[in-house]
Homo-oligomer: A and B are copies of this chain.
């Protein structure tokens, strides 16, 4: 193998390899990898895939490892493809509102680079300071502003990928999708690869759609509520009122306290839950939108609701939202839920979460892209406490069932990976699962690309 990989960085230090063998998902199992490589070009990836196929070595691609479902976890004997060195912005095409990047470019680095051209890449998972575009595409990452601006899928125009199977020998490079804004020439394979968690091939280049930058800073409206369920009712009321914020986030008291104790941002945490709305209509329409949102919050029973006039304060609140996950992780292992329910069921789901927490005696902190119905209950379990761990696991599974019963899904944006495989089997009907398996077998007949993930 080594000579086949000459000139490519190979990692075999056991500690480094161990670190590269899993993502950020607590409790998702991972195996013992053979080695890791750090390709820098598509040609490097092509050679690695061809060499692995020759020896039937499974290939596990990864970016920054910020995933929360175990999608980047190694299987025994796998070659890990660490794509973080493939971090070149290949080209920004301001005339056509597109950017082409290697998969290892960090989301926020991409945002910053295109901002210099007056352009904006909206998808903003909370991991944006660390996570890579390749990982974002592989999981079809969401984020805060997808309420108004859509998810990663809505921005992927074209992909280059190293594949095997019908396209040719393992190690064949293909270009899927297009560079134009529209196009229906053949089946939408770029869309199919988006969210496929590396199970069809290795993505080596991505062309993304961009938008013109927003001309003014968005407005922020904060509402404080006496219970998380009351906050959920306000979310449903926002939709009913025909309002479309750029983001509508929920943070409960446990999350706020965890962030405040860590970062001392000066956040008050007397309320049971805060809703943060970001409004970005320009000019006077934006002011009207902000006023309307605050009014809906008040009418829905907010303790208080007001437009933040202080940009630093507004930024601190959204920073708190983004920092909630790492802040809670400091307190011990966190099992992250990612259910998504129809918006009208957000209050019901929040209520179900409280009941499940009570029933299992677990602490569950909740952050949510509430406007999308996408909730992230974070189940806390002290390290080493086996009983707490079992209770957390039971609560986790029960929340999946509750979401499905409400017409929801077990994963809104984190992906199936390893942690949601059982949930997915609960959610999808057997015919659909069989179609998924068949498509995987067709595009990866040797089952070498990230085996065991999604439909494994």
- Within the assembled complex, what's the spacing in Å between the Cα atoms of A142 and B196? 25
**Whole-angstrom distance between the Cβ of A167 and the nearest chain B Cβ:** 3
Query: What B residues does A344 contact at CB under 8 A?
Result: 93, 95-96
Question: Which DSSP category, helix, strand, loop or mixed, fits chain A's interface?
Answer: mixed
Query: What B residues does A192 contact at CB under 8 A?
Result: 187-188, 191-192
Closest to A176 in B: B432
Cβ contact of A184, chosen from B94, B140, B180, B211, cutoff 8 A: B140
Q: Which of A47-74 contact B (CB under 8 A)?
A: none
Query: What B residues does A439 contact at CB under 8 A?
Result: 187, 189, 439, 442-443
Asked if A299 lies at the interface with its beta carbon under 8 angstroms from chain B, I say no
Residue contact A167 to B435, C-beta cutoff 8 Å: yes
Residue contact A212 to B244, C-beta cutoff 8 Å: yes
Query: What B residues does A410 contact at CB under 8 A?
Result: 185
Q: A185-B424, A416-B185 are in contact. Are A163 and B281 (CB under 8 A)?
A: no
Asked if A455 lies at the interface with its beta carbon under 8 angstroms from chain B, I say yes
Asked if A411 lies at the interface with its beta carbon under 8 angstroms from chain B, I say yes
- B-contact 0/1 string along A241-260, CB 8 Å cutoff: 01110000000000000000
**Whole-angstrom distance between the Cβ of A14 and the nearest chain B Cβ:** 33
Residue contact B179 to A342, C-beta cutoff 8 Å: yes
Q: Which of A424-442 contact B (CB under 8 A)?
A: 424, 427-429, 431-442
At the interface with chain B, which of A1-9, A22-30, A107-115, A282-290? A282-290
Query: What B residues does A98 contact at CB under 8 A?
Result: 342
Residue contact A436 to B186, C-beta cutoff 8 Å: yes
Residue contact B191 to A342, C-beta cutoff 8 Å: no
- B-contact 0/1 string along A182-219, CB 8 Å cutoff: 11111111011011100000000000000111000000
Query: What B residues does A428 contact at CB under 8 A?
Result: 185-186
Closest to A373 in B: B180
- Quick one: copies of this chain in the complex? 2
Interface residues on A, range: 35 or more
Q: Which of A253-312 contact B (CB under 8 A)?
A: 281-285, 288
Asked if A409 lies at the interface with its beta carbon under 8 angstroms from chain B, I say yes
Cβ contact of A436, chosen from B118, B189, B409, cutoff 8 A: B189
Residue contact B166 to A437, C-beta cutoff 8 Å: yes
- Within the assembled complex, what's the spacing in Å between the Cα atoms of A285 and B287? 12
Query: What B residues does A341 contact at CB under 8 A?
Result: 180
At the interface with chain B, which of A146-154, A222-230, A319-327, A358-366? A146-154
Q: Which of A343-376 contact B (CB under 8 A)?
A: 343-344, 369, 372-374
Query: What B residues does A414 contact at CB under 8 A?
Result: 184
**Whole-angstrom distance between the Cβ of A402 and the nearest chain B Cβ:** 14
Q: Which of A124-171 contact B (CB under 8 A)?
A: 139-140, 142, 146-147, 150-151, 153-154, 163, 165-168
- Within the assembled complex, what's the spacing in Å between the Cα atoms of A309 and B240? 32
Q: Which of A395-427 contact B (CB under 8 A)?
A: 407-416, 420, 423-424, 427
Cβ contact of A180, chosen from B175, B182, B408, B454, cutoff 8 A: B408
**Whole-angstrom distance between the Cβ of A134 and the nearest chain B Cβ:** 16
Query: What B residues does A420 contact at CB under 8 A?
Result: 185
Q: A94-B240, A432-B189, A454-B187 are in contact. Are A180 and B211 (CB under 8 A)?
A: no
- Within the assembled complex, what's the spacing in Å between the Cα atoms of A345 and B174? 24
Residue contact B434 to A167, C-beta cutoff 8 Å: yes
Query: What B residues does A88 contact at CB under 8 A?
Result: none
**Whole-angstrom distance between the Cβ of A212 and the nearest chain B Cβ:** 4
Residue contact B182 to A242, C-beta cutoff 8 Å: no
| A-B pairs, 6 with minimum CB distance | A167-B431, A166-B438, A95-B344, A212-B242, A183-B409, A282-B285
Contacts A185-B411, A189-B439 known; 9 new A-B pairs at CB < 8 A: A96-B343, A140-B184, A140-B188, A174-B432, A181-B340, A181-B372, A185-B424, A187-B454, A188-B191
30 A-B pairs whose Cβ atoms sit less than 8 Å apart in the complex: A94-B240, A95-B342, A95-B344, A97-B343, A139-B184, A146-B182, A150-B154, A166-B437, A167-B432, A168-B431, A168-B434, A172-B431, A176-B432, A180-B407, A182-B369, A182-B409, A182-B412, A184-B411, A184-B412, A184-B413, A184-B415, A185-B428, A187-B455, A188-B194, A284-B284, A435-B443, A438-B442, A439-B442, A441-B442, A442-B442
